[in-house]
Structure 1
Amino acid sequence: MHPSVIFGVISPLILHAAAGIVNGLTQIVRYFLYFMSTHKSKVQD
């Protein structure tokens, strides 16, 4: 296989994987911030 063909096949997979990782990280950060906000409110009460 030519390098251009390999790059054409792998690069979309890398982009898809990167998008999935970023999406997962943003969800983790959201849950963490939500947990921290609820925890702080409980402490204040």
Structure 2
Amino acid sequence: MAAELAEALAERGLVLVSAAYLEELEDAADSAVIHARSDEETVPFRFEDYE
């Protein structure tokens, strides 16, 4: 059944991936964003800015 589903999806240009693989991709994307923004200057949080 799983092989048939995978084949049907592949015919449409889609693939099945595991949840663990998606979590790895999410972690890699998060790390890339953190690295890309690591040189940005930060400002302190001020509550009055959000009133």
Calculate the TM-score normalised by the size of structure 2.
0.44
Kindly indicate which of the two structures has a greater share of residues assigned to helix: 1
The answer to which structure, 1 or 2, has the higher relative contact order (CA under 8 A, 6+ apart) is 2
Structure label with greater radius of gyration:
2
Calculate the TM-score normalised by the size of structure 1.
0.49
